Amino acid sequence: MVKHSDLIGKAAPSLQLPSIPDGSSYKLPLGQKPIALFFFPAAGTMGCTMEACSLRDARVNNIVFQRHPELEVVGVSGDPTDKQTKFADEHGLSYPILSDIDGQARKLYGVGSQFFGMTPGRETFFIDEKGIVRGVCDSSINVFEHTRFIQQQLVAIEKEKEKI
């Protein structure tokens, strides 16, 4: 199995999965815009709700996120799309949430499990506009760390562009 750390600095694996609300196929826009791809254990659980809402709120309340309207935030869980749609509707989540029922996306990205293998892992991958994985946040306990990680990645891109 691939380790998520092995992907850093390499082209992100192509991914196409059913998406909310209707199960239509969604393909990651690799090489087109920066992507924050976050894998979460289960729609509707406390930690996943806090993480998903933190990412939702960052668009409105975080100046760094506001400077990057091109950022594509994409969630992935093993839930069916009907459960994900209910979750998104209840919490006003407007970004794509993909259904990885068979776990193939988790395998592609090397996302393991947490809590002694009892639940799927919580990991966020930041993919730049060239389609390269720039970093991974693996924090199961601190759900807000994922939003901070994305912010740090966006700031790093800004600094790189200032040097050009």
The residues annotated with a catalytic role in the active site are 48
Say if CB 125 and CB 12 are below 8 A apart. yes
Q: Which residue has the tokens 């996302």?
A: 111
| β-pair partners for 11 | 132
